[in-house]
Amino acid sequence: MDLSRYAELFLTESREHLSAMNHALLALESSPQASEPVGAIFRAVHTVKGMSATMGYRAVTELAHEMENVLDRVRRGEMAVTAEVMELLFHAADSLEQAIEAVVQSGVESDAPVPTAILEVIERLRACAAVAPANVTAAERVSPAASSAPSPPQPAVTHAATSSRLVRVRLASGTALRGARALLLVKRAASLGTVLEVIPPVEALQAEEFGAGFSIHLDCTAPRDDIVRALFGVGDVDRVEVDGIETVGQPGQASAAADGQTGSAARPTRQVRIDLQRLDTLMNMVGELVIARGRLLELAARQGDPALDEVVTLAARLIGEMQDEVMLSRMVPVGQVFDRFPRLVRDAAHALGKQIVFTVEGNDIELDRSMLDEIGDPVLHLLRNAVDHGIEVPEQRRAAGKPASGSLVLSVSRERSTVLVRVEDDGKGVDRTRVLARAKELSLVDKDKTALSDDELMRIIARPGFSTAERVTDLSGRGVGIDVVMNRVRAMGGAVEMRSVPGRGTAVTVRLPHTLAIVRALLARVRDEVYAVPLAHVNETVELEARFVRRVQGREVMLLRDDVLPLIRFDDLLRVAGNGSLARHQVIVLEVGERRAGLVVDELTGQQDIVVKQFDPTRESLALFSGATILGDGAPALIVDVGSLL
C-alpha cells in the first residue's frame, strides 16, 4: 500500500499534536507537580509515535519512543521535573518537529539511517531515563525557577486509576481507503488513552489485510459513551463495541445490542480537509465574478430592459451569497497561528534571563487564512521586540518596584469592520529622550524640538534602519525593525499604532481588515481618475464649504461640528493642478485609531465591493496606494493606503 498519499495528512495531524505538546510542556514547567500536563504530553507523543510507525518514518518513531520512556517515568513518580529535564523535553519536542518536517519533505524510507542530530537527542533521552532516581514524590519535583532551598514534605502524587478496555470497530460497507480509515480510528482511540494492542496489527491495517472489523486494546478511563462518540466521529463506521456492549449506527440513535435493538447506518462525516491552494483558486474565481457582476449591473442599467434587470439582479444576489460563503470557508481562528507564540516567548525569555508571564486573548476570533499567514511574522517581531527591549530583567524590575515577572499580552479583538491585534507589555517603555536625540542626529526632527507625541514616536521608530540599541542581540537589533512590521501591515491595507509610557510599558496595535481579497470601498474622483478608499477607515463624508476652512500653524483645517479636522488635499499629493472651486469639493473623514483627517476630493461616485489586486510600484511612484482594482465599467482604479496618509 502506497502511504505517501497520506504524508500531508500525517504532517497536518502531527502539527496539531506538536502544538498540544508545547502547550502542555509550558503548563508542566509552570506547575511541575501537576500530573495532567504529563499525561497530555505522553498522549501527544504516543499518538505521533503510532502514526509515524504506520508511515514508516523511523527517525520520528525512535525519537518519540525515547520521549515516551522519560515521560513514563515522570508520570509514575520515578523522575523529578527539574530544570534539566524540562530543557531536554523542550529540545526533544523541537527535534521531533524538525524530524517530522524533514521526513515528509524528503519522503525518507523506513530503512533510512536516523540523522546524527536526532541520534544525539535520542541518546540524551536514554541517559536521562537510565539515571533517574526511583520513587520520587511530587514534593521532590522542583520548578526551573524555584529556589534551591529544601521544600517541606508533601504527599506523593496519586494518579487516576486506568482501565483496560476492549474496543471492537466495524467499518461501514463500501468504505473507500479502508486502511487509511482504520489508521485514523486507531489514532482517534489513542487520543483518549494508550493503545496497548491492535488486532490485527497496524501493519495489516495499513495493507488493508483485514475483514470488516478490527479490535483495539485501550488503556483509558473515559466513559464508554465518549469512546463510542469519538470513534463514530471519524466517519464510515458501522458499529462500535466497548465493554461487550455494541452500538450500531449513529450514537444517540442506536441502542445497545443487549436490548435487542438496531439503529440506522452511520452518518458520514460532515467535515473534509481542503487544500488551501484550492480555496485560494476559488477565492480568485469569486473575485473575478464580483468584477463581472459590477460590469453586468452597469450594462443592464444602460439597457433599461425589465427582464434583463430581473435576471441580472438574481445573478448579482447569487454571486454575493457565493462570495460570503467562500469568504466564510476561509475564516479560521487566530489561535491556529498564535498557538506557537507561547513557546517562542518562553525560549526568548530564558535566553535573556527574564521572567515573563505571557497571555493570549481572543484566540477564537477569526481572520481570513491569507491574512493570518501574513500577520504571523509581524506579530512575532513585536513579541520579540517586547521581550528583548521592553521587559526588564528581574533585578531591574524589583529596583523599580515592579514584580520580578513581566507581563506580556497578545490580544485580538474586533472593532467595527476591522480586527485589532495588540501586543502590550509592562516594561520600561520607549526611551523618548534617546529617540529624540537620535532623531536630531539624523535630522529627522527640528533641533529645537523638546518632546515627541506617540504618533511622532511611531513615525521615527518606523523609519528603515532607525535604532538606538547599543548592542546587537539574536532577537532584534539587526536592522530589522518596526519598519518591517509597518510595511507588511500597510501592504495588507492595515495600520500600526503605538502608545508608550516611560516606566509603565508599551502597547503596539495592528489594525487589519477581515480579508485581503474583497473589501467594500468608497469611490472618489480626482480630476479624470477614480480612486478606491476602503470603507473600514471612513467615518463619514461631508461637503467642503469655504466658510469652515481655516489655517492653524500653517496647516489647512476644517471646522467640523466641535472638532478641528486637518485637511489633506488629494490633488496636492498626486501633484495635479487643482480645479479652483472649493464649493464642489467633498471631504472623506478618515479615521485610524485616534487619528483623524479629512481627504479632499472632487466628487464621490458611489460604493462598491472591490477585488484587491497587489502590484509592485516603481521607485518613482507615490507611496499612497496599497493595491489596485477593476471597477464596474472595466476601468482600473488605485486603492488608497489610508495608513500612509494619517
pLDDT of residue 251: 42
Question: Does residue 169 come out as left (phi exceeding 0), alpha (psi in the -120 to 50 range) or beta?
Answer: beta
Using a pLDDT cut of 70, give the percent of the chain over it.
84
Instruction: Identify the pLDDT of residue 469.
Output: 61
Q: What is the mean pLDDT of the chain?
A: 81
Q: With a cut of 80, say whether residue 467 has pLDDT above it.
A: no
Cis peptide before 200 (omega within 30 of 0): yes
Active site members: 46, 68, 385
pLDDT of residue 271: 60
Contact predicate 63/79, CB 8 Å: no
The architecture of the domain spanning 518-645 is Beta Barrel (2.40)
Are 61 and 10 within 8 A, CB to CB? no
Residue keyed to cell 496647516: 555
Q: What is the DSSP letter of 197?
A: E
Q: What does the pLDDT look like over 388-416, one tens digit per residue?
A: 989 999 999 999 999 999 999 999 998 87
Per-residue pLDDT reduced to its tens digit, 344-386: 999 999 999 999 999 999 988 888 887 887 888 889 999 999 9
pLDDT tens per residue, range 170-198: 988 877 678 888 888 888 888 888 888 88
Q: What own/partner pairs with CB < 8 Å and gap ≥ 24 does 37-41 have?
A: 38/71, 38/74, 38/75, 39/75, 41/71, 41/89
Architecture field, domain 3-140: Up-down Bundle (1.20)
Whole-number percent of the chain with pLDDT over 90: 29
pLDDT score of 111: 59
Domain boundaries, the chain: 3-140, 164-255, 280-329, 333-513, 518-645
93 pLDDT band, cuts 50/70/90, is very high
Which CATH number applies to 164-255: 3.20.20.80, 3.20.20.70, 3.30.70.1110, 3.90.950.10?
3.30.70.1110
Q: Output the CATH code of domain 333-513.
A: 3.30.565.10
pLDDT digits (tens, 9 = 90+) for 536-555: 889 899 998 888 899 888 88
Report which of residues 301 and 163 the model is more confident about.
301
Length of the chain: 646
Specify the pLDDT at position 577: 63
Using pLDDT thresholds of 50, 70 and 90, give the confidence band for residue 58.
Answer: confident
Q: Are 189 and 205 in contact (CB under 8 A)?
A: no
Same CATH topology for 3-140 and 333-513: the answer is no
Those residues with Cβ within 8 angstroms of residue 171's Cβ, 6 or more apart along the chain or in another chain: 178, 181, 182, 212, 213, 236, 237, 238
Q: What is the pTM of this model?
A: 0.67
The arithmetic mean of pLDDT across residues 58-75, rounded, is 91
Q: Which of 36, 58, 60, 35 is nearest to 46 (CA)?
A: 60
Beta bridge partners of 613: 628
Sign of CA dihedral 179, 182, 183, 184: positive
Confidence of residue 109 (pLDDT cuts 50, 70, 90): low
